Amino acid sequence: MTDIPDHNIITINHLVELIRHNAIEEFWNVLADDDFTGELIPGSRRVSVDRIRRESARLPRDTAIVVYCADTKWPVSKFAATELTVLGFKNVRVFEGGLAAWKASGRGVETLLQLVAVP
């Protein structure tokens, strides 16, 4: 499996700069459905790790993509970035620390309403 180079793993300061300069074309929360709490970093969208191939099929391979998950204990974002790299994407970054780092820095999140089927 392809490893994500260290220079493609970004900190919160780098992420904030990329957001400020509109340098992210796709910004994805890649947590699996069972782990997704409904929270998103503003400006990002939900793309579950199992939907990466489908979602990325429509994108040019030079698209600037940042992926993140819950925190440093979750390897999901690195797995997602590896999959994107294997699919031929050249500009993929992993936000190290994910939602936990974002919230710990005092920044707010967006919350998606999750619909639950009632028996």
pLDDT digits (tens, 9 = 90+) for 28-53: 999 999 999 999 999 999 999 999 99
pLDDT digits (tens, 9 = 90+) for 46-101: 999 999 999 999 999 999 999 999 988 778 999 999 999 999 999 999 999 999 99
Q: Are 79 and 49 in contact (CB under 8 A)?
A: yes
pTM above 0.85, yes or no: yes
Task: Please name each of the domains of the chain with its CATH number.
Answer: 6-105 (3.40.250.10)
**Phi-psi region for residue 43, left (φ > 0), alpha (ψ -120 to 50) or beta?**
left
